[in-house]
Amino acid sequence: MFEPRQDTANRRWLPVAIATVLVAVVFIVGMDSKGLIKMLPFGFAERILDRDLPEHLQQVFPSATGFSKRQTNPLPHFIAYSSESGSEAVAGYVFRTIELQPNERGYDGPIEMLVGMDLNGKLTGVLVTEQHEPYGYFSVGLPSFARQFKGKDIRDPFKVGADVAAVSRASISINSASRAIRNSARLAARTLLPAQPPKNLN
């Protein structure tokens, strides 16, 4: 009976072993675990950080039946597909706000989100994947924050206190996250959608 070579089996456990050591270091030195994992070489970081990606993509684009690998041109994104009459058709796109709006900052750094958008420029879902806001636990960290963007049109104002719910003591976080969603979605629409949105979307 075929038995895998010992060195091959050991290599499979290497990323997990390295990640375990790094997590242990986190508790010792108090460093952000994600920051440590990003330092891993040979593609280990991507494999560890993206282990929940398929589930996250489905969360922000529930109607999709499949997704492409990460595309880099003309900007970073994933293609969402739907099955029609037995064949796959492009249904929309998913993108990370941190990749399209890297300079947007909340109170304590960037608020990282995954956003889905259909071919009509309507958001299919938003998921906050990482945030370190001091009041994030009752603002951008709540599922209700992301949920309010589902179905919004990229032409909507995304104005806090108007079509985006304001949260007392967390205005910096809410405003930053809303701008990141709006601006990244409009950039993706101008670049990826077959029909260009109005030119006044900046």
DSSP conformation class of 69? P
Q: How many domains does the chain have?
A: 2
Give the total residue count for the chain: 202
Q: What is the DSSP string of 1-26?
A: -----HHHHHHHHHHHHHHHHHHHHH
Please check whether residue 118 lies inside any domain of the structure: yes
Give the residue-averaged pLDDT of 112-128: 98
Whether residue 52 is predicted with pLDDT greater than 60 in this model: the reply is: yes
Q: For residue 1, is pLDDT > 60? A: no
81 in the Ramachandran plot: left (φ > 0), alpha (ψ -120 to 50) or beta? beta
Cα separation values, 156 from 6, 17, 28, 87, 141, Å: 58, 47, 46, 33, 22
The verdict on 45 and 99 lying in the same domain is no
- Looking at residue 139, what is its pLDDT? 96
Does 61 reside within a domain?
yes
- In this structure, the answer to whether residues 137 and 125 fall within a common structural domain is yes
Let me know if residue 157 belongs to a domain.
yes
User: With 50 as the cut, is the pLDDT of residue 42 above it?
Assistant: no
Residue 31 domain boundaries: 6-49
| pLDDT tier at 198, thresholds 50, 70, 90 | low
Same domain, 160 and 113: yes
Both 114 and 168 in a single domain? yes
pLDDT per position as a tens digit, 9-36: 556 677 677 767 766 655 555 545 555 5
Alpha carbons 196 and 174: distance in angstroms, whole number: 28
pTM of the entire structure?
Answer: 0.76
Strand (E) or helix (H) holding 114:
strand 112-118
Q: Which residues have CB under 8 Å from 76's CB, separation 6+?
A: 70, 95, 96, 99, 100
Q: Average pLDDT in the 43-70 region?
A: 83
Whether residue 173 sits in one domain with residue 132: yes
Residue 5 has pLDDT above 70, yes or no: no
Judged against a pLDDT cut of 90, whether residue 81 lies above it is answered with yes
Q: Is the residue at 202 inside a domain?
A: no
Does some domain include residue 121? yes
**How deeply is 122 buried, as exposed, middle or buried, from its count of CB atoms within 10 A (0-12, 13-18, 19+)?**
middle
Same domain, 164 and 138: yes
Whether 14 and 67 share a structural domain: no
Judgement on whether residues 182 and 91 belong to the same structural domain of the protein: yes
Answer yes or no: do 44 and 102 share one domain. no
pLDDT band at 195 (very low <50, low <70, confident <90, very high): low
Using CA atoms, how far apart are residues 51 and 46, in angstroms rounded to an integer? 8
Do 34 and 119 reside in the same domain of the chain? no
CA distance 92 to 161: 29
Q: Pick from 130, 127, 131, 116: which is nearest to 188 by CA?
A: 116
Same domain, 109 and 14: no
- In this structure, are residues 78 and 70 in contact, taking their beta carbons and an 8 Å threshold? yes
How far CA 67 is from CA of 25, 56, 83, 197, in Å, comes to 35, 11, 11, 24
